[in-house]
Amino acid sequence: MADELNKQQNQEYGASQIQVLKGLEAVRKRPAMYIGDTSSRGLHHLISEVVDNSIDEALAGYCDEIVVTLLDDGSVAVEDNGRGIPVDIHPEYLDPPKTAMEVVMTVLHAGGKFSKDSYKVSGGLHGVGVSVVNALSAWCEVTSVRDGIPNTQRYVRGVPEGPVTRGKKVKGGKKNGTYTRFTPDGEIFQTVRFRRENVIGRLRELAFLNSGLTIIFRDERSDRKPTEDELEQGVEEVEVYEEKFNYKGGLAAFVKYLDESRTPILTKPVHFEKERDGVPVEIAFSFNDSYQDNLHSYVNNINTIEGGTHVSGFKTALTRTLNNYASRAGLFKKNDQRLSGDDCREGLTAVISVKVSEPQFEGQTKTKLGNSEVQSVVETITGEMLGDYLEENPAVGKRIIDKAMQAQRAREAARKAKDLIRRKGALESGTLPGKLADCSRRDPEGTELYIVEGDSAGGSAKQGRDRRFQAILPLRGKILNVEKARIDKILGNEEIRTLITAIGTGIGNPAGEDRDLFSGNGNGNGNGASGEFNFEKLRYGKIIIMTDADVDGAHIRTLLLTFFYRYMHELITQGCIYIAQPPLYQLKKGKQIAYAYDEDERVRKIKELGDNGKIGIQRYKGLGEMNPEQLWSTTMDPERRTVLKVQIEEAAEADHLFSVLMGDNVAPRREFIEKNAKYVRNLDV
Ligand code: 0RA
């Protein structure tokens, strides 16, 4: 049978084979069209795409465990205990005959095409399909075990190396399952290095979204070489990292996780699951005493960061149901106004997950759900379920309404504070802050704003810069931690006002908000900054954070990032925020000067210079130690510097991390620090 199969497959290429090659070529020519981009984000997307197939198998009820492993050779393996991808001849590919496995791995959009028959490997309900992963891999290998017998095929840049080969039954081996291993192609991706945190973030999210499913993550890479210090301390190799995700509580557990560092107002999240018109909806939410709202939404397990109809359906129902409840329960006093959408969402943490069979994704990053029918489905379900919940839990109802009324009063106070500031003209551009050394070019295209820690570094930066396109804003000390302050206090902070004015956009939307579909009072967004953020008014193309390479510098950078993340979110999603990378060392030998940006480079550069009589090594602790010329040549000259672009690759994980690092509760922060301390290098206290 196997020989017969091989013989058939080895026949000359038919028309379908040419089709396949064309398809793969298209993917390799324009990878961004299929996976968004070829940066780290696109790279990590590959893993999601493969895992999605196993998730489908789990949703069909045949698989309950998925193992994802990062291997030492840079490849990734995804293994499930489902039925195994079919290896019989696909009924639509008879000339030349092809196995279903080969079709799934090599034919573009095989998922969509076969979604109505039993060969559905859809890549979630959305995905581009695993053939795209295959096309963008230097090599890929798939093994499907069926009744204990392994069937394997290997591909190079998407093209099968040979036919599917049948192996021998392994004694005591696994009965069924699929094992996919691939190495992303370095010719395609800007980086092929997977970040453990990103992979973990996505897997954790998937485990929350698919309650009961076990997902195991393993990091077997050993290329995180021990540092010299670690070697001295006797660290020999970095152990295999393993983490297991299995959440029984579904989205309620997700909400608890997100709010781990916040003080809850409800004892447990409100959680419901219901299907209507063929659209399954699962929602969990809770309230905490912070001032932000954190709304994470998913369609077919995909994070819809731009929101969409499911999100607006939820918001509309939340606002309406809470107002109706407050009226009926007699919680409004005579002069009370109706609660706005913002009031209802202050301190809200919510996760919305819907499954839509033919989703229409819109928006800039194609992460906004457009299906209008979903709006009323989610709205109706939320209204019914929340209405019932409030009737049955009047004490909780009262607490939620009290919180919203407090928000309403604070919003009124904030409005007055803002009016006052506005009247003083402080937030309008035109009156730029005195500390800002602006650039001469007016058009934001190609211009840069350096936010610099401290006046002395600010001085060097001002002298060293190219004033045609580089502006400098020195910040004195630490800005306010916006995670713990309400909008009136934030706007009262001078450093923050300076920042807002220099940047020019105003402040507004918190993470994941969706402005034009807004419900409630129509102008709101969750932090009371009320729709004032306007990307069009951005005064610079890049905003570059430049702080010292010490703990204070790291703290200031985190405070700034927290501010951008919560109040100028779009600057991050549009890729405008960067982090400068000043060198850590200056190495001097005679007239020769070299710079090193990390430990490895220091060691390498010393060798290059040839150390005969102890090269002069200067460890830079602060930017202020560099003269203007040095600062320019190492850190600010676009031709020579490196800057890191700030990107959010896992929105829920980012939200969780910001709240852990900057929020009220100490225990989760301590835990984070203990867990991560071993990765810290170059810590100068
Ligand atoms: C379609 C049918 C069958 C299995 C699968 C798809 C399947 C695909 C993948 C991809 C990764 N893991 C998977 N697990 C299962 C079963 C067909 C049959 O047994 O008759």
Q: How many residues does the chain have?
A: 685
CA separation for the pair 298, 351 (Å, rounded)? 8
CA separation for the pair 458, 623 (Å, rounded)? 9
| Owner of token pair 């699962």 | 282
Q: Percentage of residues in the chain with pLDDT exceeding 90?
A: 60
**pLDDT score, position 122:** 42
CA angle 664, 670, 672 (to 5 degrees): 100
Does ligand 1 have an atom closer than 6 angstroms to the CB of 178? yes
Common-topology check for domains 251-411 and 425-582? no
Which tokens is 46 given? 């590959």
**pLDDT score, position 418:** 67
> Does the structural domain 251-411 have CATH classification 3.20.20.80?
no
Task: State the sign of the Cα–Cα–Cα–Cα dihedral 250, 251, 252, 254.
Answer: positive
Q: Is 552 a catalytic residue?
A: yes
Does ligand 1 have an atom closer than 6 angstroms to the CB of 131? no
Q: Is 453 a catalytic residue?
A: yes
CA separation for the pair 586, 596 (Å, rounded)? 7
The pTM assigned to this predicted structure is: 0.82
pLDDT digits (tens, 9 = 90+) for 276-323: 999 999 999 999 988 888 999 999 998 998 899 999 999 999 999 999
Most confident listed range (107-116, 197-206, 428-437): 197-206
Question: Of all atoms in ligand 1, which is nearest to the CA of residue 80?
Answer: 12
From the candidates 514, 548, 570, 653, give the one annotated as an active-site residue.
548
Mean pLDDT of all residues in 155-163: 96
- Sequence ranges of the domains in the chain: 25-245, 251-411, 425-582, 585-635
From the candidates 80, 259, 453, 532, give the one annotated as an active-site residue.
453
- Pick from 99, 119, 121, 175 the residue to mutate for probing ligand 1's pocket: most ligand atoms within 8 Å of its CB: 121
Q: With 80 as the cut, is the pLDDT of residue 423 above it?
A: no
Does ligand 1 have an atom closer than 6 angstroms to the CB of 53? yes
Q: Which residue has the higher pLDDT, 115 or 415?
A: 415
Number of Cβ atoms within 10 Å of the Cβ of 101: 25
Ligand 1 centroid, distance to 106 Cα (angstroms): 16
Q: What is the mean pLDDT of the chain?
A: 86
- Helix, strand or coil, per DSSP, at residue 350: strand
Q: Is 336 a catalytic residue?
A: no
Closest protein CA for atom 5 of ligand 1: 85
Q: With 90 as the cut, is the pLDDT of residue 87 above it?
A: yes
Question: Of all atoms in ligand 1, which is nearest to the CA of residue 63?
Answer: 14
pLDDT digits (tens, 9 = 90+) for 425-434: 555 545 788 8
Ligand 1 centroid, distance to 368 Cα (angstroms): 29
Most confident listed range (72-81, 297-306, 606-615): 72-81
pLDDT digits (tens, 9 = 90+) for 8-60: 555 555 677 788 888 899 999 999 988 888 999 899 999 999 999 999 999 99
Ligand 1 centroid, distance to 353 Cα (angstroms): 24
**pLDDT score, position 647:** 85
Per-residue confidence band for 441, with pLDDT thresholds at 50, 70 and 90: very high
Which CATH code is given to the segment(s) 425-582?
Answer: 3.40.50.670
Does ligand 1 have an atom closer than 6 angstroms to the CB of 82? yes
Does ligand 1 have an atom closer than 6 angstroms to the CB of 57? yes
Does ligand 1 have an atom closer than 6 angstroms to the CB of 553? no
Closest protein CA for atom 10 of ligand 1: 53
Q: Is 655 a catalytic residue?
A: no
- Pick from 49, 64, 65, 85 the residue to mutate for probing ligand 1's pocket: most ligand atoms within 8 Å of its CB: 85
Q: Classify domain 25-245 by CATH architecture.
A: 2-Layer Sandwich (3.30)
| Owner of token pair 């909400």 | 255
Q: Name the amino acid, one letter, at 62.
A: Y
Residue 433, preceding peptide bond in cis (omega within 30° of 0): no
**pLDDT score, position 228:** 65
**pLDDT score, position 679:** 61
Q: How far is CA 627 from CA 167, 337, 635, in A?
A: 67, 59, 12
pLDDT digits (tens, 9 = 90+) for 661-674: 888 788 888 888 77
> What is the Cβ-side half-sphere exposure of residue 595, based on CA atoms within 13 angstroms?
16
**pLDDT score, position 514:** 35
- Pick from 50, 83, 104, 153 the residue to mutate for probing ligand 1's pocket: most ligand atoms within 8 Å of its CB: 83
Does ligand 1 have an atom closer than 6 angstroms to the CB of 118? yes
What DSSP string describes 298-325?
EETTEE-TT-BHHHHHHHHHHHHHHHHH
**pLDDT score, position 467:** 96
What DSSP string describes 223-280?
-SPPPHHHHHTT--SPPPEEEEE--TTHHHHHHHHHTTTS-BSSSS-EEEEEEETTEE
Angle between helices 40-59 and 196-209 in degrees, nearest 10: 30
Identify the CA nearest to 458 among candidates 326, 682, 271, 624: 624
